């Protein structure tokens, strides 16, 4: 059953009809139903369910419902919505847990299950392992006919999510409305189409919608990286917009295009958000993962703030944010976490913060981006081979005299650059990220590492 599945801190992912089958979906959903029941006092655990609109979503949803109902859960179906909306609904409804059916940025043939605990955050490593072990060991308890669960719908949570953002002390709705910002929005026909236009209109923006029909037929590669934002760049220039926003299919990642129609690195999303928040509350704590740009460190230093680094994965960042009482966190993939709203990556709050920054600064996104510390970053993927671990060990020996961090793969820090190599949580690949003051140096680091890691 485990074959061809990606199982880890980011949930359970697979290609539909291959690794991800109805049998797999039912098993993991039933295991999660048991997990929720073991963590709560209710005989009928309350579980919130939401999904992105990819075309396999309805099939997956029916299988998930079967697993949850068969274990006696009361399921609150909140429909097609952003992943962070499900997290907030779990908190707001005081549910025992939540599930999101989404493969996030993965291509359309993929789908996945994400598991949320009763506190509204994704399961940590130990909790996830306990859940997965119950499937592996087939320790799943089903209810008899008289103990089956029930399902009800509640489609009010997107509006509740938006209203909570509008009430944040960092967001001055009147000030943003006075700026009359023109925004082009690319939701790739994902769940953002159900929520993001509504948020922009509530903030008084002129929203020009691009691929905002939430039917799951992705208009382009769904990962919001610069090379996938060609149409957004063209639309920003054509409409003379102030900014372009791109959401991934489940709306936990945010990418931007400048008023000049230039795609901004996804690393700039957290950097700009942190720059804005730390201006309000200097000497605060920031949390991000070890794959995120040094821009965050430079910005924090300017405001007398401290940066904490974690393993890659939202759950790890959230755990540290709670422990150190951080004011903002996130990941360099465009994920912004603002604890004052909730402990989860959230493209909606990311957009609101950036728009507030534009309104207060009375300048352009081009100028705000230009004021950030300058680095060049190269991101590559490689195919995992049998010799990967052996070659990675050779790489560590080569740079043994440098500063090496092993909390998640291998990160090697040099004076003016760094490189990070790790196995992906979401795809059967390894990732290489290098950052340096010059593009040439970043390319050299990636090239040298790829060469060594690709040897047989």
* Residues that are catalytic: 104
- Cite the DSSP H helix spans in 254-346: 267-280, 295-302, 314-324
Q: What 8-state DSSP symbol labels residue 255? A: E
- Rounded to 10 deg, the angle between the 125-136 and 22-39 helix axes is 120
CB atoms within 10 A of CB 316: 22
Radius of gyration of the chain (CA): 22
Six-digit token string for 390 = 């052996």
3-state secondary structure (DSSP) of residue 444 = helix
Cα 363 to its chain centre, rounded Å, is 28
CA–CA separation, 433 and 13 (whole Å): 23
Provide CB contacts within 8 A for 301, sequence distance 6+. none
Q: Among 198, 418, 139, 212, which Cα is nearest to 295's?
A: 418
CA–CA separation, 54 and 322 (whole Å): 33
Do 371 and 254 meet the contact criterion of CB atoms below 8 Å apart?
no
Do 64 and 34 meet the contact criterion of CB atoms below 8 Å apart?
no
3-state secondary structure (DSSP) of residue 170 = coil
**How many Cα atoms sit within 13 Å of 413 on the Cβ side?**
10
Six-digit token string for 60 = 């997956």
Q: Among 186, 331, 183, which Cα is nearest to 258's?
A: 183
Residue in the structure block whose two tokens are 């709306």: 251
Do 240 and 182 meet the contact criterion of CB atoms below 8 Å apart?
yes
Bridge partners of residue 327, in order along the sequence: none
Give Cα separations from 295 to 109, 205, 299, 425 (angstroms).
Answer: 35, 29, 6, 24
CA–CA separation, 287 and 297 (whole Å): 10
Q: Strand pairing of 74-80 and 150-153?
A: parallel
Angle at 225 between CA 373 and CA 443, to 5 degrees: 60
């Amino acid at each position: 059953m485990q074959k061809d599945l990606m199982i880890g801190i980011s949930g359970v992912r697979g290609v539909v009809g291959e690794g991800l089958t109805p049998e797999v979906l039912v098993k993991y959903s039933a295991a999660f139903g048991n997990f929720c029941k073991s963590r709560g006092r209710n005989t009928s655990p309350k579980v919130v369910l939401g999904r992105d609109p990819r075309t396999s979503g309805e099939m997956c949803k029916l299988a998930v419902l079967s697993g949850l109902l068969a274990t006696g859960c009361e399921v609150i179906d909140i429909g097609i919505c952003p992943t962070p909306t499900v997290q907030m609904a779990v908190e707001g409804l005081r549910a025992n847990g939540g599930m999101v059916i989404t493969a996030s940025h993965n291509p359309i043939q993929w789908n996945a299950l994400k598991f949320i605990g009763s506190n509204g955050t994704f399961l940590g490593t130990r909790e996830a392992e306990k859940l997965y072990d119950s499937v592996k060991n087939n320790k799943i308890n089903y209810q008899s006919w008289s103990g089956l669960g029930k399902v009800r719908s509640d489609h009010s949570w997107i509006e509740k999510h938006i209203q909570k953002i509008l009430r944040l002390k960092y967001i001055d709705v009147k000030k943003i409305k006075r700026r009359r910002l023109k925004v082009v929005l690319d939701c790739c026909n994902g769940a953002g189409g159900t929520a993001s236009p509504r948020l922009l209109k509530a903030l008084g923006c002129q929203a020009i919608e691009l691929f905002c029909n939430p039917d799951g037929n992705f208009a382009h590669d769904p990962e919001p990286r610069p090379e996938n934002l060609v149409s957004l760049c063209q639309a920003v220039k054509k409409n003379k917009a102030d900014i372009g926003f791109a959401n991934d299919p489940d709306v936990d990642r945010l990418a931007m295009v400048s008023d000049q129609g230039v795609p901004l690195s996804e690393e700039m999303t957290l950097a700009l958000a942190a720059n804005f928040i730390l201006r309000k509350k200097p000497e605060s704590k920031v949390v991000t993962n070890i794959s995120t740009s040094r821009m965050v460190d430079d910005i924090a230093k300017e405001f007398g703030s401290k940066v904490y680094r974690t393993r890659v994965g939202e759950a790890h960042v959230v755990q540290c944010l709670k422990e150190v009482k951080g004011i903002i966190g996130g990941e360099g993939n465009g994920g912004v976490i603002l604890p004052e709203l909730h402990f989860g990556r959230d493209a909606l709050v990311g957009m609101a913060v950036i728009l507030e920054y534009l309104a207060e600064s009375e300048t352009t996104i081009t100028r705000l981006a230009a004021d950030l510390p300058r680095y060049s970053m190269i991101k590559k993927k490689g195919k995992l081979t049998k010799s990967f671990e052996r070659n990675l060990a050779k790489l560590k020996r080569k740079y043994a005299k440098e500063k090496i961090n092993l909390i998640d793969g291998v990160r090697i820090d040099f004076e003016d650059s760094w490189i990070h190599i790790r196995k992906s949580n979401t795809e059967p690949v390894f990732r290489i990220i290098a950052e340096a003051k010059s593009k040439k140096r970043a390319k050299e680091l990636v090239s040298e590492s790829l060469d060594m890691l690709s040897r047989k």
